[in-house]
Structure 1
Amino acid sequence: MAYRYWCGECGFRTAWLGESEGERQQVEHYRRKHPGIPPGGHVEVDRKDPGGGLGCLQLVVVAVVLLALAASCRR
C-alpha cells in the first residue's frame, strides 16, 4: 500500500510513499513551515497493488492455453 499525507494547515501533500517515509516528510514539513503546531491533516491510502494489474490477463492466457491443449487432444 502507498500513503499520501496532507497538511492540515496548508495545501502541502507528500508523494505516494511508504507509511513511515510519508509520516517523516509530514513531520518535517510541520517542523519547517508550521513550528509549534502538532502535525495534523489526513492520510490518503492507495490500496491498489502496484504489481497486481495483470491478474485478469494471466487468467485469460491460462484459459486459452488449456482450451488449446484440450482441442489438440481431441481426435
Structure 2
Amino acid sequence: MLNAVEFQAKIQNGLIQILDEYKQELGEKDDIKVIVLLNKKSTQQKDIIDELTENPIQVNGILSREEIYNR
C-alpha cells in the first residue's frame, strides 16, 4: 500500500527532520521514497540589480528621486 505525506522542512547537517506529527506513521524500518523540490527563490542566484534593489546604497550629496522631480 502506498501512502503520501507532504511537508516542508529544512536540511540541517545533511539530515531532513521528520515532523513529530508524522514520526509514528513513518517508522524507522519503513522503506520510503524521497522526492526533493527546491523553492525557486533558493536556487536562483541574485544578480547585482536584485541585490541593489533589496539593499540600496546611500550616497551623500546625490539628489533623491523626489528632489530631482521637484526641480
Q: TM-score, normalised by structure 1?
A: 0.36
Q: Which of the pair is proportionally richer in strand?
A: 1
Q: Which of the pair is proportionally richer in helix?
A: 1
